[in-house]
Each structure stands twice: as structure tokens, then as C-alpha cells.
Structure 1
């Protein structure tokens, strides 16, 4: 097996992507509230743990006008297109949910029934320190 990004590098990259997206999509004054996501283990095709983990980050977007949620989704879709992301799912108007992928990172945004928005990114699988664990 070859080395990959470390967990910390993957998490930093995921955070950078979220911050770039929200800065482009939401008007000044928005606030991000951390929506804790535990470190998620990666599994192989047989659903066995590989020793790698996904770095996931997720935030609630507060201090925005929730009546403009559709416009925020449209702006995020444009930002994705302009920044090399490929839209995978857009469940609007049934559900306010969509996601896109770039370089094995998956970014998604969804709204609760009350209109609160959550945006997050999952990284590709990464070894905790960037190299496979030895099998000694």
C-alpha cells in the first residue's frame, strides 16, 4: 500500500473547502457552528475496517435569511461548477439536499424542515499518520 494524506492533512483540506464555499455563497454576517462529526472508519468491499479513516467536517450555517435557502443552494451549485466540483445529487424541490464530488472529497448541503442549513465535507480514506500501518 502507498502513503496518502494524513488524517490531519485530509481534515485541513476539508475545512479549507467548506470555508471557501461558505465565503462565496453566504452574505457577510453568517456564522458557522461546529456540528461534531466523529472520525469515520473506512471499510473494504467486504465491509471490514481498513485502518484508514474519513476526515469529516460539518457546520450549521447561522445568522442568515432562511427564506433565501433556495438562492444559497443555487449559489453553491454555481460555485461547485466554477471550482471543478461535479454535482452528484440535487433533490430539490422535494428535499433541500445536494452534494458534489471533487478529488474524492464529497461536499454536501442540506436544510432541516425548519430551514436551518448544514454544510460539510468528507475526505477520501486516509491513514492516520499518512502511511499504512505495518503488519508485524
Structure 2
């Protein structure tokens, strides 16, 4: 399971390739927004859906392909969703996809039908989400922020 979570975090944490400084929210705001996006997507699932936290973390934005400045952070959450029938996962994933598309997310990768997994990014703020059904029968919902400054955009020197 930890291999799947590690892969998901790596896939979700691309910070971009532009070297200039961009305005960011604070780490605290990023943590709140990933949780908010998660809760909003969860709300489209049946009431019996029970989220169990897997990884809730804030870590260094040290993507080697990122040309941006050091010192930024990424906020990330992932939850396993329990108490839903595995046979209905494709329908639940479609519901989440519809919510994303109605809320200004764009699809970055859709692995269906080979694998029940979709990865998206919000067009306004760069936050990313993924929903995936693992081979072990687990439904996992992940949200992560783009790279942000701990206290928001730093003042020019």
C-alpha cells in the first residue's frame, strides 16, 4: 500500500517548470484547501462512505524537475474510502469526475478502462486530486497543493 501512496504523492506534486516567483497562499491555507477539496469530492459519494486517513503531510517542494526557488512546501492528504461496494467503484469515480469537471478541474490523466484512476488539476489554483481503485480493492482519494511559500508569497528583497 505504501508504494501506491508514494507513487500517488509523486504524481500529484509537480510544481511546474517556470523559474519566476509566483504568488502563493500560505502553507496553512494550502492545508485547509486540500482538506476542503477532499471533503467536497467526498460529498458526492453515498452517505455511508467512511474516509480513513492514510497520509496527511506537508513536505518540502524538492522536485528535481522544478526550476523554482527552494523553501516552498506542498500540502497533501490521502484517504481510503471504506464501506462502499467495490462493484460500484466505477460509478463513484464517475461521480467524482463530474464534480471535478463542474468545479473547474481539468483531467491530466484518465487510465480507464485499464485501471480505475483519474488525475486532475484545478485550473484556477493548481491544486491536484486523484481518485483510484487499487488492485487490492481500496478506493483512494488524494488532494495536494502546488508548491507554496510557508508564509505566502515572500516580499521582494
Pairwise TM-score range, normalised by the shorter structure: 0.7 to 0.9
Query: How do residues 51-130 of structure 1 correspond to structure 2 at under 5 angstroms?
Result: 51-102=71-122, 103-130=125-152
Q: Which moved more, 1:111-120 or 1:41-50?
A: 41-50
Superposition deviation, residue 45 in structure 1 = 4.7
Deviations 1:90-118 (A, max 9, x none): 10111111111112011101111122111
Residue of structure 2 aligned with 1:31, choices 50, 53, 56: 50
Given the two structures, how large is their TM-score scaled by the length of structure 2?
0.76
Query: Taking structure 1 as reference, are residues 48 and 29 closer, same or farther at Cα in structure 2, changes over 3 Å only?
Result: same
Residue of structure 1 aligned with 2:39, choices 3, 19, 22: 19
- Secondary structure of 2:72's counterpart equals strand
CA RMSD, aligned part only?
2.3
Contact 1:41 1:49 in 2 (8 A): no
Structure 2: give runs of 5+ residues left out of the alignment: 1-20
Q: Whose strand fraction is larger, Structure 1's or Structure 2's?
A: 1
CA distance in 2, matches of 1:21, 1:6: 22
- Secondary structure of 1:50's counterpart equals coil
Structure 1: give runs of 5+ residues left out of the alignment: none
Query: Taking structure 1 as reference, are residues 20 and 46 closer, same or farther at Cα in structure 2, changes over 3 Å only?
Result: closer
Given the two structures, how large is their TM-score scaled by the length of structure 1?
0.86
CA distance in 1, matches of 2:120, 2:85: 24
